[in-house]
Structures are given as C-alpha cells and as structure tokens.
Amino acid sequence: MSAKPTVPADSRSFRHVALLILVAAMAVLAAVQFYRVMDQVQKLANPDISDNGWPPFQLQAELYKFDLALKDFSATGQDRGRLEMRVDLLASRVEPVMQLAFAWPEGTRQEMLSIRDTVDRWASAIHAMPSDAERSGLVLAQIATDVDRMRPGLQKLILMVHELQSLDADEKRRDIRGTFQALAITLGLLGAGTLAFFVALQRRNRREMQLNRQLEEWNATLEARVEERTEQIHEQKELLQRILAASPVGVAIQEAGGGRTVFLNTRMKDAVGVADARSMRPLKDYLVHDGDVDKLAGAMARGETVGNMEAEIRGADGYFYGLLSARRIDLDGRPMDLFWLYDISDRKKLENRLRDQARTDSLTGALNHGSFRGALDKAIAESRTDGAELSLVLMDVDHFKFINDHFGHAAGDVTLKRLVDLARDELRDHDILGRLGGEEFGIVLSGAGADQAANIAERLRGAFEAAGGEGPLPLFTASFGVAVMEGRDTVASLMERADRALYRAKHGGRNRVEVHGGEALAEPGMSGAQS
C-alpha cells in the first residue's frame, strides 16, 4: 500500500495565510468598487446642477428677466437701476456656461464667445446709456433686436448642452457597467476565495480532529503501556529489593570518594554493624589494614574496578575476612561507588587450616620436614642480615624401637606427641619446632648462641626424662645435637653439623646434649668431644 503524500504543516499554514490575505484584498477591492459604483449611480441620478445643464438654463432665465426689464424700461423709462442690475446678472451667468466641462464643438464655442461679447457689450452700453430719451431709445432698440437674435442661439446652446449631457450620461452608464462587471468579477473571486478558505479551514479542522482522535488513541495506549510498565518496574523493584535483602553478599552504594551512603542492604548493615545508611562511614574506614585502605582508595580515585580483594574487615562482632569488589557507577548523572562485600571468614579458616595441615605433621602438630627446612632457610637468611646468632638443635628419642616393640605403636605415638608438648612448653613463641621424620625433631633457636642453645637442649632433655612414666607415657629419653650457625652456613651444612653432634650424643651413651665443636652438657655422657 503506497503512503498518501502529506503536505508539511508549515506549508499548509502558509497557504491558509496567503488565501486569507487574498480574500481580504478581494474584499477591499470589492468595497472600493462598490463605493465607486454607488458614487457613479448617485451622480447619474442627481447630476451636479452647477457643472452640467444648469448654467445654460440660468443664462436663458436671466436673458428672459433681462428682456422683461428691458421692455419695462423701454416703455416707462423708469427703474434704470433694475435694468443695470439685470444686465450685470446676465453678464455673470455667461462665464459658468463657458466653464462647463464639455468637449465643445468648434461652432458652439464660437457662438458662446459671441454671446459673451454681446452681453458684455450690452452691459457697457446700458451703463454708458445717455439720458437723452431718443438716443437711449436707439440703444435699447438695438439691444432688444440683439436679444431676439440671441434667443435661438441660446436655445441651440441649451440643446447642445443636453446632447452633451446625455452623451456624458451614456459614458457614465458605460463606466458604471464596467465598474459593475469588475465588481461582479471581484465578488465572484471573493466568493470563490472565501469558499476556498472555508473549505481549507474545514479540511484543517477535520484533519485536526482526526489528529486529536489519533492522539487520544495513542495517549490511551501509551497510558496503558506506562501503567503496565510501571507495574512491571514496581514488581521488578520489589523483587530486586527482596533479592538484595536476602543476598549473602553485602551491597552498599556511596557517593564517590567516600561520601554519603545512598543504599545498603541488610547483609551489609549486619556485617559492619550499622542500623541505617546514615550511620555508615565510608567503606574504607572498615578496612583493618592500611595497605588495603590505600589499595581501595587509590583504585576508586583512579576510577578503576576492584575485583575480589581479600581484606580483613572491622565488623559488628570483631574482625572478619571479606572478599571486596568495588566499581564506579553513574547514578542519575552523579558518580557513585558500588561495593560488594562477601564474608569469607569460614573459607579463610578452612584455608588456614589446610595450609597449616600442609605445613605440619599430623601426629604431633610440629612443622613437617619440608616446612621446617624452609623455616630454617629463612632464619639463616635473616640471621645473616641482622647479624644475630642462630642455633640448630636436633633431638632423637632414644631406643624408640624398643618403646614401640614393648609398649605398642600407640604408646610410641603418645610419646612423640608428649615430647612435642613438653618442648613447646620449654620453648619461646618464635622458636621453630619441626619433625624431621620418625622420632627425630629439629629446633631453630634464633638469637641463641652455643651456650644458650645447649642450655635449652639440656632443659628439654631434663623435662623429657622427668615426664616419662606419667599415665600411659612410657619412660623415655632423648639425645640432642647442637650446632651454631657460621658465616657461610646453608641449611644442609648446619643440619649436617648438628647431626654430627647428635650422632656423638647417641654414641656417647644417649640422653645427653652434644654441641658441635663443644663439650657435652648433660648426663650420662658429658663427654662433649669434638664431632
């Protein structure tokens, strides 16, 4: 289906205005023409007596009155003043006839000039008339003759004026007809223009009504859709609220750069121990370690996203481990920081436990062989850096095979565990205790020289000896080999020297302490021979 071409609204309005201007112009033209017709009709119906046929009649009437006065004066010789006045009046009536706006035929014009000259002559003659009756009688007789002669000429002039008048009237009628025709055309155009304008107006009104109806329909549809959408949004919002409230992840939105909190869910409230958004401080304030604070604040300041950052958090019930993610978002044109916080304390505990398990011996809880060697390596490096003394003690349960064989394997285990507990009681927190295998153990004593290490070993030896026989614990003793770190020692070299001292303690009779390069310190051997 092809779309109906539409005329732009602007162009339609322009057409309406143009049409209106045209109609108004036609109306003005019609009014002017109407006025003109009326004027012409008026003039035709009431011809202007002063500029048309009236002056010749006046002239004729005045000639008649002059004739009467002439006759009276001729008869009586009295009232010469009346005669003079009449001749003057007659003279004054000639000029208006001369001035009539007709295209006079040449003969008529000559005649009019002759009338004027004659009347002027009469006036001069009468004013200059002698008192002598005989001579004045001659003048009057001559004038009377002239009057008689003038009458037919004047009559002809009147006829001529009539003729000219009717010609003029014909012309005026023609003019009126022309004006009428023009008026009729103008009125026709005015009618057509008005009709066209009203049709256009009508069309426009119809179109506007149609548009309004369409708009109303659209509005109704739109309103229904908005209502439906609002309901959906409301439901979605409610759902989102419920999800956020039930979320195991704490969520908070704060103004960028540690400002006001604009949203936080229940989980976040519980985690950091606040009742509402107003009580919550900038999230970085809840981080325990300065390094974490700097990392988070720096990333947010640069507008970077922070993903799964492990941090210790100052929570409502003490510290806990959290997995923190953050990113900058735009909320209604304002920059905001969105935070997610997930409590990973349980996972962290499990992780720590697993790490400890991987590092320790499951029976005694002491460091296993590998971890012990690692710790010893680190201690050697630190000692080399800070110049502090470092000693290594190796200890081995005496005749452990015998204990196993006579008291059972479980008794052997008990012995090993008890030995570790006793050793821990005697050692300082930073001393490192590890099980090297079987019934052999190692102790790293940072800051201890040969004498100090030997004394500690001796204390342990005594403690083991004294503890033997308690409950299910069989009597047992242990032998000790001590070596002090020297300048270029490695783990292997230090272990080897301590092992040599231990070997000496074993072969020196057991239950004794031997220092590599020193005297044995404890019974029963006390030999202390150079190993």
Ligand X SMILES: Nc1nc2c(ncn2[C@@H]2O[C@H](COP(=O)(O)OP(=O)(O)OP(=O)(O)O)[C@@H](O)[C@H]2O)c(=O)[nH]1
Report the 10 Å Cβ neighbour count for 144: 14
- Over the window 431 to 470, marking each residue x when it contacts ligand X by CB under 6 A and - when it does not, the resulting string is -------xx-------------------------------
Q: Is 506 in the site for ligand X (CB under 6 A)?
A: yes
Measure the CA–CA gap between 365 and 356, rounded to whole angstroms: 9
Task: Name which of 161 and 420 has its Cβ closer to ligand X.
Answer: 420
Q: Is 406 in the site for ligand X (CB under 6 A)?
A: no
Measure the CA–CA gap between 208 and 168, rounded to whole angstroms: 58
Q: Is 401 in the site for ligand X (CB under 6 A)?
A: yes
Task: Name which of 321 and 441 has its Cβ closer to ligand X.
Answer: 441
Task: Name which of 53 and 434 has its Cβ closer to ligand X.
Answer: 434
Q: Is 514 in the site for ligand X (CB under 6 A)?
A: no
Task: Name which of 216 and 405 has its Cβ closer to ligand X.
Answer: 405
Task: Name which of 322 and 412 has its Cβ closer to ligand X.
Answer: 412
Q: Choose one: 286-294, 406-414, 461-469, 497-505; the region binding ligand X (CB under 6 A).
A: 406-414
> What is the end-to-end Cα distance of the chain in Å, rounded?
111
Q: Out of 111, 343, 398, 514, which residue is the one contacting ligand X (CB under 6 A)?
A: 398
Measure the CA–CA gap between 527 and 519, rounded to whole angstroms: 6
84 given a catalytic annotation: no
Measure the CA–CA gap between 500 and 516, rounded to whole angstroms: 7
Q: Is 503 in the site for ligand X (CB under 6 A)?
A: no
- Smallest separation, CB 344 to ligand X (Å): 35
Could you say which residues in the range 154-173 bind ligand X, by CB under 6 A? none
Beta strands 513-515 and 478-484: pairing type? parallel
Q: How many residues bind ligand X (CB under 6 A)?
A: 16
Beta-ladder partners of 319: 314
- Smallest separation, CB 416 to ligand X (Å): 6
Measure the CA–CA gap between 338 and 300, rounded to whole angstroms: 10
Could you say which residues in the range 222-281 bind ligand X, by CB under 6 A? none
Q: Is 396 in the site for ligand X (CB under 6 A)?
A: yes
Task: Name which of 413 and 496 has its Cβ closer to ligand X.
Answer: 413
Kindly name the residue from 439, 440, 458, 514 that is annotated as catalytic.
Answer: 439
- Smallest separation, CB 527 to ligand X (Å): 17
- Chain residue whose CB lies nearest ligand X: 412
Q: Is 400 in the site for ligand X (CB under 6 A)?
A: yes
Measure the CA–CA gap between 178 and 189, rounded to whole angstroms: 16
Q: Is 475 in the site for ligand X (CB under 6 A)?
A: no
Answer whether the bond into residue 472 is a cis peptide, omega within 30°. no
- Smallest separation, CB 510 to ligand X (Å): 6
Can you spell out the DSSP letters for 209-267? HHHHHHHHHHHHHHHHHHHHHHHHHHHHHHHHHHHHHH-SEEEEEEETTT--EEEE-HH
Q: Out of 399, 417, 459, 507, which residue is the one contacting ligand X (CB under 6 A)?
A: 399
- Smallest separation, CB 367 to ligand X (Å): 15
Which is it for the CA torsion 236, 239, 243, 244, positive or negative?
positive
Could you say which residues in the range 331-390 bind ligand X, by CB under 6 A? 363
The CA-based diameter of the chain, rounded to the nearest angstrom, is: 215
Task: Name which of 235 and 413 has its Cβ closer to ligand X.
Answer: 413
In this structure, what token pair is assigned to residue 386?
């800070």
- 438 within 8 A of 400, measured Cβ to Cβ: yes
Beta strands 440-446 and 513-515: pairing type? unpaired
- Smallest separation, CB 404 to ligand X (Å): 5
Measure the CA–CA gap between 102 and 99, rounded to whole angstroms: 9
Rg (CA), the chain: 72
Q: Is 107 in the site for ligand X (CB under 6 A)?
A: no
Strand arrangement, sheet containing 249-255: 261-264, 249-255, 334-343, 318-331, 306-315
Which residues does the annotation mark as catalytic? 439
Interface residues with ligand X (CB under 6 A) are: 363, 396-402, 404, 409, 412-413, 416, 438-439, 506
